Amino acid sequence: MKNSTLFYHMINRYIELAATPYFIFGFIYKQNVYAVRANRNILPLILKLDKASRGAGYSLRFCPTAAQKVFLLSQGAEWICSKQSLLSLVANSPYNRGEVFEKLLFQKNKQPWKKTSSPFYHTGDLVIGNIDYQIKFERATFLTERSLRRLEN
């Protein structure tokens, strides 16, 4: 399967399987952390096909380029904190950047946070105004070929 065909196949299957069509994407731009709410239509514009680790084939990842970050900013992204603040929180916790970003979003929305491992096809990560959102921070993996095969069997 050609890479572009695989890319769109994986996006379409992710969309079909996902519990919610809404996302909050987090990214660092010019020493600041931003979050933007979006629906599934944005996925082909900001995801990339990448090699997955440990023999899992290819993966869909959110690794925005500088131009994609400018685009996300134009979609109503909001400032969350400075990059230094995020990195300091990560350094002083057992959590990675994505988990700390998620925790910041929960706090911003006055909701209690605890680390969960609910799969994307069961539930979103955060509910705001009765809308379930999946939360993804830059460098996040959405789906690997291996996990897609498991879900389809």
Sign of the alpha-carbon dihedral angle for 14, 17, 22, 23: negative
33 occurs within a structural domain: yes
137 occurs within a structural domain: yes
pLDDT for res 81: 98
93 occurs within a structural domain: yes
* pLDDT tens sequence across 3-24: 889 999 999 999 999 999 999 9
What is the arrangement of strands in the sheet containing 78-82, beginning at the earlier edge strand? 78-82, 32-39, 22-29, 131-137, 126-128
Sign of the alpha-carbon dihedral angle for 97, 101, 107, 112: negative
Give the number of domains in the chain. 1
132 occurs within a structural domain: yes
pLDDT for res 152: 83
Terminal-to-terminal C-alpha distance of the chain? 19
106 occurs within a structural domain: yes
What confidence tier does 2 reach under pLDDT thresholds 50, 70, 90? low
153 occurs within a structural domain: no
Q: What domain range is 32 assigned to? A: 3-148
Q: What's the whole-model pTM score?
A: 0.94
What confidence tier does 54 reach under pLDDT thresholds 50, 70, 90? confident
* pLDDT tens sequence across 64-116: 999 999 999 999 999 999 999 999 999 999 999 999 999 999 999 999 999 88
